[in-house]
A and B are shown apart, each in its own frame.
Chain A
Amino acid sequence: MFEELQTFAQNLLEGIPVLTLMIFLPLLGVGLIFFFGRSMKLIRTISLLFSGIPLILGILLFVAFSWGNALPAGETFADPQFYEEYEWIPSLGVSYVVGVDGISLPLLLLTPLLTFLAILFSWDVKRRPKEYFGLILLMQVGITGVFVLLDYLIFYVFWEIVLIPMYFLIGIWGGPNKDYAAIKFFIYTHVASLVMLLAIMAIYFNAGATTFNMIELGESAPGFSKAFQIIAFGALLFGFGVKMPMVPFHTWLPDAHVEAPTAGSVLLAGLLLKMGGYGLIRVAIPTLPEGASYLAPLMVVIGVVSILYAAIVCLAQKDLKKMVAYSSVSHMGFVMVGFATLGQVGIVAGVFMMFAHSLVTAVLFMTCGVVQHHCGTRMIPKLGGISERMPKLAAIMTTGFLASLGLPGLVIFAAEFMVFWTIFNNWGLWLFLPILSVAITAAYYLWALQRSMFGPLTEEIETEQIDDANWFESAPMAVLIALIALFGIFPAIILHRISDAVTIILRSFGVG
């Protein structure tokens, strides 16, 4: 039955420039909102529509994506599907090249999904709605582009396009300390991008300055000297590491999250952080294999420190949202460690972890948003016993927290388990360090749950009228919870599709 479905989807997408549409349809939406967005209702409908159509295209593309075929021999770079190529700046060797492989597929599916749900969740945003929804759609353009573009220069262009809407989202709709958070976010990530750009330029010139095409540059990788690879990989690791973010360059993240509006947080944690991880595995590791091998120990150390340090910091948080923000740093540490193994299981686990973390963290930030909206505060000491007033929210939040702490059967568990397995295979009992985080994670989540959701109502809350989550708040969360369970039980749906691309990437290390 599945194969019929796949053929059906393939026939449907036949001859459609589906990736280009997925990138630029939201841009059309931005234009429509800008010129015709006269009423609240119209603005919301347009933005739902123009994130919804890419979502449908994304689902079709996910189904149509072919996998498990015999891999072409000798290729060292994944064969992208739904490939499109047009010349753009021939004198610099820049072309518009898009394509999907197993690594970009899960993230490409997530992009319209989370944007769509974030827009639905923001149904009652009344402050400057035109700009708000326009910026979210613009961000979708940028993120989609980052995940499918296979030309370094345009990849960088889209990478930077993402920053500006997020800067405005935090700066206009943010909390009390938004000015500081917005500027900090902008400067940190922009500096990181520039370092990345420097490395990209160096790769471009070292390969003969003829093309920015990632596939062609990936093929010229064996020609790079080892010293160059180490320096360039270090620069890329910094550039992508700040974005992920990795300790010690993570400090922009909690600030940005605490101040950002809920939809902004969902997209920030769900998609923007993944750009860092995606960059590592798409750009840095396959293009500079020797550099990656040399610096892998550093990546492991950074990853493990991020896992443990962020988990411990979570214990001390009083703000629910800040806690969730730090837990993202901890989870992205798993991605880093997974990649650092430079092995099939580790990299697949890293990519899957990014996918899993996006789903879970989106729910968590949404629950934080609901608590903020309905109770007026997110401070754990001021909350307490709100499960009595908000049973729906309590159920979702409990599921979300359990998923995030790695409950078997839910999606994070599958990813974490694979990372642990590969750590054990590589480094044996050093596993105890990262596995320690499981206990800490369980501790901070359950403790926070206990204090905020259950127990007696606190005085601050008791007198106030508190409603449960609205339909537009619970619907997106319910969808995400369903997906968390689905992919927790059948992780293979994603894992199979990732696997081929990783095998091909590992060929540049002489494996496979």
Chain B
Amino acid sequence: MTATTEYFGVLMPQIILLIFALVCPALDLWLKMRRGIAYWAIIGLAIVGIIETLALIPDTRDLLSFLFWTEPPQTEVFDIGAFSRIFTIVFVFVGGLVALASPDFIKKEKNHGEYYALLLIAVTGMSFVATAADLIVIFIGLEIAGISCYALTGFQKSVKRSTEAAMKYFIVGGFSSAITLFGISLIYGAGGSTNLVELGTLLTLDSELHAIALLGIALLIVGLGFKIAAVPFHMWAPDVYEGAPTTITTFLAAGSKNMGVAAMFKIFLIALLAIKADWDVAIAIIAIVTMSVGNLIAIQQTSVKRMLAYSSIAQAGYILIALPVASEYAVAGGILHVITHTAMKGGAFIVIAAMAIAGLGERLKDFDGLNRRSPFLAFSMAIFVLSLAGIPPLAGFYSKFVLFSGAIFGASEPGGSGWLVWLAVAGILNSALSLFYYARIIKSMYMHETPNKSRIVIPPLIKVAILIALIATIFIGLYPQPFIDGAMGAAHALNELLPFGR
């Protein structure tokens, strides 16, 4: 096999996604398809998802040989392994959920072709970030996904708040990209390379250019902090999440945010690990503040969509725990939480989308007596929020468990820093706090009465989307073993990239 086809294997998922994306507008323009485009997009996402899953599991890897697929070679700019595969699967999963939920949600809008094309391109960009082994590639990925997301946020042109959200998102996003890029350039200046692994050896605490690296780290924390909506860079998130079409909110909360997490994991746990002493306390403080502020403000919300927006700020805080601990176990917890968060938060937002289709609002009041009007929606929502609160035996419990116990483990290890234990304490206290507002949603749905008792009809496609997220949430809860193993494998893959180990 020639070198070219070998390298084709490196970017196969992205290439497939792009081909599918580029066909979407054509389907709209010439074939006048509407629903068909969604199916097309889902097929593309499913193919990539299946390929990546097969490639992830060692036993099934050989099945791919009929696709002329070989184990992709390691290159300087791309790193293919368990980490990139798991994140790509996560992004494809979110994209699939959104594509399933969309046809009914954007029925009244025009330009379906562009919608799905942008969605697929955004997924492509995200998977670039997950695959990158180079700062520039990470940045390009962030931008590809970011620009698509800005456009998607403003997709409902006739809705004022959608346009407003898009504008805000665009300005803040552009701003944060610039800061990130500036941070990257300083890191490049300090280390002399943009390759993550090389940077890992070049950047040391006693280098002459250490001060520049420090500034670069600060800028990266700010820039990426905007992307994952960490406090105090979170102000845009509730407005954008509330204003965006709910399907796109799902995509932002469960997809775009996880892309930021992937970028942070790659940059901080590979390139900047040697100078961990420079940033671990800062990120630990940001993690604690993020989860606390997110949860405290969520308690006061009367709009469920906004409440979930703040809750996803808090979830970013939980995931950030993995960075200062930096042990393989804690990183596995972070990755596991990315996986579970995708299913449960994605599901919760799609429930809100389903309610919007049925003509219901997104205020807490609109959830009153939902159990009578649609037991399925109420039950799914209850499961999603209980899982978000970390109640066993649901998915969220295990990811929080691994994450928080990782912090305790990191503290109790010989040579570990004792203060890490406070990350776990803060996380656990915050979980308890968050139960308060999650329980309010459940209370509305099950314990309050509503004058309007008519049944809600949910379109089948969106029902399928909710059902998939629901099954994922429950299944991971009942049988977490493969997912924990997968996350451990991904954390291990990240670890293996380091030239000198952790």
Contact = CB atoms under 8 A, between A and B. Distances in A.
Interface of A: 88-92, 153, 156-157, 160-161, 163-164, 167-168, 171-172, 178-179, 182-183, 186-187, 190-191, 194-195, 197-198, 201-202, 204-206, 209
Given A91-B488, A198-B425, A171 B443 contact: yes
B313 to A, nearest CB: 21
B236 interface: no
A156 B480 CA distance: 15
A179 B428 contact: no
A183 B412 CA distance: 35
B473 to A, nearest CB: 15
A305 to B, nearest CB: 26
A90 B392 contact: no
Given A89-B481, A167-B439, A191-B432, 14 more contacts: A89-B484, A91-B485, A160-B392, A161-B392, A168-B447, A182-B447, A183-B436, A187-B435, A190-B391, A190-B435, A194-B431, A201-B405, A205-B409, A205-B412
Interface residues of B, number: 30
B481 A190 contact: no
Interface in B347-388: 386
B412 A206 contact: yes
A462 to B, nearest CB: 35
A248 B170 CA distance: 53
B120 interface: no
B484 to A, nearest CB: 5
A161 B409 contact: no
Contacts of B405: 201, 204-205
Contact of B392 (A157, A168, A172, A182): A157
Interface in B445-496: 446-447, 480-481, 484-485, 488
B428 A198 contact: yes
Contacts of A186: 435, 439
A190 B443 contact: no
B484 A202 contact: no
B397 interface: yes
A492 to B, nearest CB: 39
B443 A179 contact: yes
B435 A92 contact: no
A220 to B, nearest CB: 14
Given A157-B393, A202-B412, A182 B484 contact: no
A209 B409 contact: yes
A91 B481 contact: yes
A471 to B, nearest CB: 31
B42 interface: no
A202 B408 contact: yes
Interface in B403-428: 404-405, 408-409, 412, 424-425, 428
Contacts of B409: 205, 209
26 contacts: A91-B484, A92-B402, A156-B392, A157-B392, A157-B397, A160-B392, A161-B393, A163-B391, A171-B443, A171-B446, A171-B447, A172-B446, A178-B447, A179-B447, A182-B443, A187-B436, A187-B439, A195-B428, A198-B428, A201-B401, A201-B404, A201-B405, A201-B408, A204-B405, A205-B405, A205-B408
A164 B391 contact: yes
Contacts of A89: 480-481, 484
Which of the listed residues A182, A197, A209 has the most CB atoms from chain B within 10 Å of its own CB?
A: A197
A28 B429 CA distance: 34
Nearest to B425: A198
Contacts of A195: 428
Nearest to B407: A201
A183 B424 contact: no
Contacts of B429: 194
A98 B286 CA distance: 42
Contacts of A167: 439
A187 B434 CA distance: 10
Nearest to A170: B447
A183 B386 CA distance: 14
Interface of B: 386, 391-393, 397, 401-402, 404-405, 408-409, 412, 424-425, 428-429, 431-432, 435-436, 439-440, 443, 446-447, 480-481, 484-485, 488
Contacts of A187: 432, 435-436, 439
Contacts, number: 76
A182 B412 CA distance: 37
Nearest to B447: A171
Which of the listed residues B393, B404, B424, B443 has the most CB atoms from chain A within 10 Å of its own CB?
A: B443
A183 B90 CA distance: 34
Nearest to B477: A157
Nearest to B410: A205
B428 A190 contact: no
5 smallest beta-carbon distances between A and B, as pairs: A157-B392, A201-B405, A171-B447, A191-B432, A157-B393
A160 B477 CA distance: 13
B391 A194 contact: no
B459 to A, nearest CB: 24
A304 B484 CA distance: 46
Contact of B424 (A92, A198, A209): A198
A92 B412 CA distance: 17
A209 B447 CA distance: 42
A167 B391 CA distance: 13
A160 B104 CA distance: 37
Contacts of A157: 392-393, 397
B127 to A, nearest CB: 26
A160 B408 CA distance: 21
A299 B394 CA distance: 34
Contacts of A209: 409
A491 B424 CA distance: 46
B481 A90 contact: yes
A144 to B, nearest CB: 15
Contacts of A198: 408, 424-425, 428
B391 A160 contact: yes
Contacts of B440: 183
A239 B425 CA distance: 14
Contacts of B428: 194-195, 197-198
A179 B386 CA distance: 18
Which of the listed residues B405, B425, B480 has the most CB atoms from chain A within 10 Å of its own CB?
A: B405
A198 B411 CA distance: 13
Nearest to B413: A205
A205 B480 CA distance: 20
Nearest to B488: A91
Which of the listed residues B440, B481, B488 has the most CB atoms from chain A within 10 Å of its own CB?
A: B481
A31 to B, nearest CB: 14
A197 to B, nearest CB: 7
A91 B480 CA distance: 10
B276 to A, nearest CB: 21
Which of the listed residues B391, B431, B484 has the most CB atoms from chain A within 10 Å of its own CB?
A: B391
Contacts of A205: 405, 408-409, 412
B386 A164 contact: yes
B98 to A, nearest CB: 30
A127 to B, nearest CB: 12
Given A172-B447, A191-B432, A198-B425, A92 B484 contact: yes
Nearest to A183: B439
Nearest to B402: A92
B284 to A, nearest CB: 18
A244 B477 CA distance: 28
B11 to A, nearest CB: 31
Nearest to A228: B412
Given A91-B481, A92-B484, A198-B424, A183 B432 contact: no
Nearest to A186: B439
A164 to B, nearest CB: 7
Contacts of B425: 198
Given A157-B397, A160-B392, A201-B405, A190 B432 contact: yes
Contacts of A91: 481, 484-485, 488
Contacts of A156: 392
Nearest to A193: B432
